[in-house]
Amino acid sequence: MRQIGIGIAGFGTIGVGVYKHLTGNRRLLCERLGLELTVTKIADLDIDTPRSVTPPRSILCRDWQELIDDPQVQVVVELMGGIKNPYKFVMAAIEKGKIVVTANKALLAEHGKEIFACAAAKRVPIFFEAAAAGGVPIIKALREAFVANHIRSMHGIINGTSNYILTRMTQAGLGFEEALKEAQAAGYAEADPTLDINGWDAAHKAIILASLAYGFWVNAADIHVEGIQNITAADIEFAEKLGYKIKLLAVIKSDESCTENCPVEVRVHPTLVPESHVLASVNGVFNAIAVHGDVVGETLFYGRGAGQDATASAVISDLAEAAVALEIPRPNFGFVPHGLYGKCKPISEVITPYYLRLSVIDRPGVLALISGILSEERIGISSVIQPEAHEEEIVPLVLMLHDASQGQMDRAIGKIAALDCVKRPPQVLRVETFAC
């Protein structure tokens, strides 16, 4: 049986998982592939600390350049983390003609355009299933299963840490800081959770998904990103009273009636999701992506989006594809550009309904003042919640607003925040209606 030599760069949690499951499921993989996936070299700066698996000392090294130079290594797996060194490693591997597997979403979001251009020029495939939603096979679906579809929309819960925090705030009534500490204690959040809670981990994945769906590499500067750090227990409570759950949602969509030269929405932000929609019931660290194609209709992908085993499963699926690609060269190399789309819609032009929470003085005329400002910007009110006075006569005022553009809302919020009766910064969240 032909052996495929694999080099792993980065032997942390995911690298250990890949090695463990490659060796543990060796017979299964051999039977299914008719090839043997053999790890011939592992590079990591720390090769002395004991892990849960013990590779032969002879295959360990500290310098990833040894993977590039080793003629027995046919496929390299980039699991180093960060961007600068992984970029150098991936580009060096492509130049050497070695197939690349990576789980690095930040790397692809920031440098995908040049990486895939180089891969196409050198005719070297790149596989990256684990770079978006972990063990959920969304990349393969977009590249292969939905090849005949214009993707009308994707709505994704694609960051397990933020979803766990919002779930605990909803189910246990915790505040944000308390829920974050619980997530860290459980190992679901890093010591530095910044990229998870500020939305950028999900945004990196959204860039990859949007680029695959619409055939142009999305620039990070062109997308709108908000995190969950300002969500309060009050917002969770009011959303539930109104029939919604709050989720950090990646929204990727094009105009349903348009098939050419359409601007594409790519945004990540806390969103009010109707309780009747399936995404509202996705809890804890799980991910889910609802995809609407013009041919296939509605589909749903659900599973664990991170963790050693889920990510290792996706990496090994890429290794299996890479092994087959060595036998039968692929016609494309990971990303196929096309000219039917080509730009992101500015957030100022994106139109959605809104949730608006204000802290106001409880006195006559306040609602009239606020509704007057909204009316000036042609923003309609669909419902109002105003509990009785508390906390020195300052009360929350919650308004559900009809469709408006970001530009309209920005102008209205600027005027409302300047009113004497408004005592704290307004809380503004989008509502997703899932019209298609």
Q: What residue type is assigned to position 424 of the chain?
A: R
What φ, ψ does residue 163 adopt, rounded to 5°? Answer: -70, -35
State the Cα–Cα distance between residues 187 and 228, nearest whole angstrom: 19
Cβ neighbourhood burial of 185 (10 Å; 0-12, 13-18, 19+): exposed
Annotation says 423 is catalytic: no
Radius of gyration of the chain (CA): 24
DSSP β-ladder status, 126-127 and 60-61: unpaired
Counts for the chain of helices (H) and strands (E), in that order: 14, 17
Q: Given the structure tokens 């849960």, which residue do they identify?
A: 52
**Crossing angle (nearest 10°) for helices 26-33 and 308-327:** 30
DSSP β-ladder status, 224-225 and 151-157: unpaired
The 3-state DSSP class for residue 433 equals coil
Q: What residue type is assigned to position 231 of the chain?
A: I
Instruction: Determine which one of 205, 245, 247, 253 is catalytic.
Output: 205
Catalytic residue numbers, as ranges? 205
